[in-house]
Structures are given as structure tokens and as C-alpha cells.
Amino acid sequence: MSRFESAKELYKAIGVDVDTALKKLAGIRISLHCWQGDDVSGFENRSALSGGIAATGNYPGKARNPDELMADIDQALQLIPGKHKLNLHASYAITDEKVDRDQLKPRHFDQWLQFARERGLGLDFNPTLFSHPKAADGLTLSHPDREIRRFWIEHCKASRKIAAYFGKELGSVALNNIWIPDGYKDVPADRFTPRQRLQESLDEIFSEKLDEKYIADSVESKVFGIGVESYTVGSHEFYLNYAARNHVLCLLDNGHYHPTETVSDKIPSMLLFYERLALHVTRPVRWDSDHVVLFDDETREIAKEIVRCDALDRVFIGLDFFDASINRISAWVVGMRNMQKALLFALLLPHEKLKALQNEGNFTELMALQEELKLYPAGDVWNHFCETHNVPPMQDWIKVVQGYEKNVLAKRG
């Protein structure tokens, strides 16, 4: 009997059907963030990354142009089982025109659309409200200057149209996520008015009704950023209330909360009150450091909540990290495979049995069983999943990345 067949038997004995789990896993599309490939640089030839976020490290081989980034994404996708989505930022427009962000049009992303279409990928989108002269003071949609607000409102409106275009062309809903860096380094004199301005800006951005078949709008909160330590305009409470009232989605980034708060615990509450939810899965190490997603406790808890709330079709799962200290393709592959492994692990749990133990108050058996389940042979099922999707199982993919590094990345200046 193969390891996979033997794993199937073990899971069957606890009431878990492995084939059903594998079928569900194959249908989950995770949004791969383009910005891991070039440390959030984009193609606008602007200098520094701003907005309170930072990529640290100087690993050689960073993608410097669309061709390199696309080639790197291709290499990563060959090592990730299943069909997924690609998450683009507006700063990755591919055009010879000199066009500022408020003037962006769908045509400036046609090469990405073609890239996605040829590979059967979906696309998601984000307006870029950082790394730009009009965001130099860290304020955008809440800026006291009406003209600056206007520029960013127009940018967000343009982004929504681009996302809706992607959705229509690819026949899959594109998530358009708004994250802004706005806030203050030190104790503000007025917390109310910037939020009021943000509210008005968002109202205007969302005033245009676009077809929900093609676009889902989300807003992403944050607790603080570098240089924005004392006050964030787009806080969790702000967006939670805004989204509830205005029929947009909340996007929860698990680096954007206080260190002992967990997004896994928020997911069921959100699902009770919202039809859909969006996630940026990341790994905060002591702060919103955007480390690569591991197969760690919180990633597994996030996956468990999505699965046991039966919400795989209600949650947009995207990744958000940018580590410049290691091979960037490896970062993508590790993060994506770990998110998938966490989902598989969750799909292989006997949820009804575990819930019954909780309801009976049998916390002794619940703990004991949950701990034993951690060493069930999910790895054998994962390897089978990789093989049936024609990607390397176990660590076999590492040598492929090393070969690419030697033959391609090392030759970049």
C-alpha cells in the first residue's frame, strides 16, 4: 500500500474523506501578490518605498522590469499546485505613456491581462497610495488639502474600473482593495476630522456602481506603520463600520492588529455579519514585518476557521509579505504552499467530532485528540496533491529554485 493509500485509511477511520478534502483544496484560488518579486518597487521608476512599510534585505536577483517579474512569477507558479490568482498593484502598470496614477486606464494593464489569461489565472487589484510625491507626507484620502484628496480619489476610481475590467475579461470576480498609509507619528490634535475626510473620500470612490459579477471592493485597516506610530486614520473600527454600512468588504491583514489579537478569532465574527470577507495572510514578527507565511499556528487557525465555518467560497485569500533577504521566488513558493498546506490540514480534520466534544464539555478528549491530529499523515496527502498537479512534492522544488537562481537571477545586474 502506498503512503497515500495508508494515510487515506487512517483519515477514514476518524471519519475524514481524503478525496473530498483534495477536491476542495484543488478549487481554492489564493491570490499571489506580485510585490514580493521586486520588494514593492513597481515599474514607475520612483525611488524609495514609502507609506510606513519596508522591505528589508538585499538578496541578489530582484526583478527589475515586467519581463523579469513575469518570468519569476512563472517560475514560482510551476512549483505551486493548483490554479490561482495574481494580485497586482497600480504601480505595476506596463506602459510607455507618461501617465500619473489618477489617469490609469485598463489598457495600461493589458500585458498583465494577457499574462493571466494565458495561464488561467484570475487577477486582483490594488490602487497604490504610497511611494508617490503626492503621498510624500504620508496622507492621501484623508489629506487636509482638497486637491491632494481629489488626486487619490480619482486614482481609486480608476483602479476600480481596472479591476472590473479584469473581472469581466477573465470571468472571475476581481478584488479591488484599498489600503492607505494615512496617520500621524505623534499624538494628533484631531482624530475625528481626518476620519471624516476619509469617509467622504470613500463615499465618492464607491458612488459609482460597478457590476458585482466582476468586482468586489474591500478596505484594509491597520494599527500603525513606521513613522505613523500614534494614529492611523483607517483603523479597524473605522473600516469595520464603514464596510458594514456601505456594502463593501473588510480586508483583514493579520499583521495589522495588536500582537495578541488574532485574525483567526475575528473570522467567525465577521462571517456572521458579512456575506464575504477578504484576507491578507502574512507573518508579523513582533510588528507588521511582513515575513513569509509559514505553516505556523496562526496560519493553521486561519485556515481552520475558513474551513469549519464552511466559508471557502466567501473568503478571498491573498498573501501579503515582502522579504528581500532571501530568494524571492522561494519566498512566494514557501508562502503559497504553506497557505495550501494549512488549508489541507484544516480540510483533514474531523470537525463534527471536535465540535461535539466541545459541546459535551469533554475538554480533556478535545485537547488530546487535537494534539494527536497534528501528527496525522497530512504530509503524505500533500505530496499526493503535488504529484497529481505535476509539481514537485516535499522539498524537491528547492533545487529547481536554486537552478533558476544560478541560471537567471545571478545574471541580473
Ligand X SMILES: C[C@H](O)[C@H](O)[C@@H](O)C(=O)CO
**Binding-site annotation: residue ranges for Mn(2+):** 256, 288, 290
Could you confirm whether 222 is annotated as catalytic?
yes
Q: How far is the CB of 351 from Mn ion (least distance, A)?
A: 28
Q: For the window 80-119, what string marks contact with ligand X as x by the rule CB under 6 A?
A: ----------------------------------------
Reading the block at residue 13, the C-alpha cell is 477511520
Among this protein's residues, is 89 annotated catalytic?
Answer: no
> Is 182 noted as a catalytic residue in this protein?
no
User: Which residue of 30, 40, 70, 104 would you call a contact of ligand X, by CB under 6 A?
Assistant: 40
- When binding is defined by CB under 5 A, the residue of 85, 143, 149, 280 that contacts Mn ion is 280
Smallest gap from residue 344 Cβ to ligand X (A): 25
The Cα-based distances of 113 to 31, 94, 127, 166, 193 in angstroms read: 15, 11, 16, 7, 39
Q: State which of residues 101, 280, 283, 291 lies at the interface with ligand X (CB under 6 A).
A: 280
Q: Which of 346, 365, 318 is nearest to 20 (CA)?
A: 346
Select 217 or 253, whichever has its Cβ closest to Mn ion: 253
Q: Can you give the chain as a three-state secondary structure string?
A: CCHHHHHHHHHHHCCCCHHHHHHHHHCCCEEEEHHHCCCCCCCCCCCCCCCCCCCCCCCCCCCCCHHHHHHHHHHHHCCCCCCCEEEEEHHHCCCCCCCCHHHCCHHHHHHHHHHHHHHCCEEEEECCCCCCHHHCCCCCCCCCCHHHHHHHHHHHHHHHHHHHHHHHHHCCCEEEEECCCCEECCCCCCCHHHHHHHHHHHHHHCCCCCCCCCEEEEEECCCCECCECCEECCCHHHHHHHHHHHCCEEEEECCCCCCCCCHHHHHHHHHHHCCCEEEEECECCCCCCCECCCCCHHHHHHHHHHHHCCCCCCEEEEECCCCCCCCHHHHHHHHHHHHHHHHHHHHCCCHHHHHHHHHHCCHHHHHHHHHHHCCCCHHHHHHHHHHHCCCCCHHHHHHHHHHHHHHCHHHCC
Binding residues are 256, 288, 290
Residue 251: CB minimum distance to ligand X, A: 8
Active site residue 24: no
Using CB under 6 A as the binding rule, the residues of this chain from 117 to 146 that contact ligand X are 126
Rounded Cα distance between 283 and 331, Å, is 12
Q: Which does 35 bind (CB under 5 to 8 A by kind): Mn ion, ligand X, none?
A: ligand X
Any catalytic annotation for residue 320?
yes
- Closest CB to ligand X: residue number: 179
Please identify, using beta-carbon distances, which residue of 257 and 404 lies nearer to ligand X: 257
Under rule CB under 6 A, residue 320 binds ligand X: yes
* Residue 121 or 319 with smaller CB distance to Mn ion: 319
Binding-site size for ligand X (CB under 6 A) equals: 11
In the annotation, is 179 catalytic?
yes
With a CB cutoff of 8 Å and minimum separation 6, the contacts of 104 are 90, 93, 155, 158, 159, 162
Instruction: Choose one: 272-280, 295-303, 324-332, 378-386; the region binding Mn ion (CB under 5 A).
Output: 272-280
Active-site annotation holder among 256, 291, 341, 384: 256
Nearer to ligand X, 109 or 179 (CB): 179
Single-letter residue type at 240: L
- Give the nearer residue to ligand X in terms of CB position, either 226 or 398: 226
Our CB check for ligand X shows the closer of 140 and 383 to be 140
Cβ atoms < 10 Å from Cβ of 290: 26
Query: For residues 251-270, which are near Mn ion according to CB under 5 A?
Result: 253
By rule CB under 6 A, what string of x and - marks binding of each residue 192-231 to ligand X?
Answer: ----------------------------x-x---------
Interacting positions 163-192 with ligand X (CB under 6 A): 179
Using the rule CB under 5 A, give the single segment among 94-102, 146-154, 277-285, 356-364 that binds Mn ion: 277-285
313 is catalytic: no
| 38 near ligand X, rule: CB under 6 A | no
Binding site for ligand X (CB under 6 A): 35, 40, 53, 126, 179, 220, 222, 253, 280, 288, 320
Active site residues: 179, 220, 222, 253, 256, 280, 288, 290, 320
Binding site for Mn ion (CB under 5 A): 253, 280, 320
